[in-house]
Structure 1
């Protein structure tokens, strides 16, 4: 596991130490890892919201043929085979 040193004001350090005690964390490192995980979840949720909005703004859904993905896979495999043969 990697380590990181950070500088905090005395007030920030006291706040974290109190939060560690009150929040049932094992250590300050445990507390900081939890904060990072929370922020990662927030960013992932924001990305998902943006992708959903983009999808909704792209217009109505268009029906596809049942074998659409099979054909797309076949085209990709053929393209990759051609590229490998050229090398």
Structure 2
């Protein structure tokens, strides 16, 4: 049984030139390898985003929904950031 499928794709000139450059430099043996590596990178990025959403975003959202009284206003966040920056500048001698 065949495990690959041939596709015909159209790329912008800059991307096509990059693919050809990767092959001509010896970094990859074929143009298909360049595309496969790019797709593997895309799969890894998508998996990392999914992991971040599940492990960090959803728990943070759940915490906010369970304890909305802990939320800060925009003004409070700004004041805390300003104070933090002032402290960092003071310590570094820039203020």
Find the aligned partners of 1:66 and 1:30 in 2 and give their Cα distance: 44
Normalising by the residue count of structure 1, what TM-score does the alignment of the two structures yield? 0.57
Q: Aligned pair 1:61/2:76, yes or no?
A: no
Segments of 4+ moved more than 6 angstroms: none
Match of 1:34 in 2: 39
Larger displacement relative to structure 2 (51-60 or 32-41): 51-60
Root-mean-square deviation (CA), in Å? 2.9
Aligned-pair CA distance for 1:27: 1.5
- How far, CA to CA, are the matches of 1:81 and 1:28 in structure 2? 49
| Structure 1 residue ranges without an equivalent (≥5) | 1-13
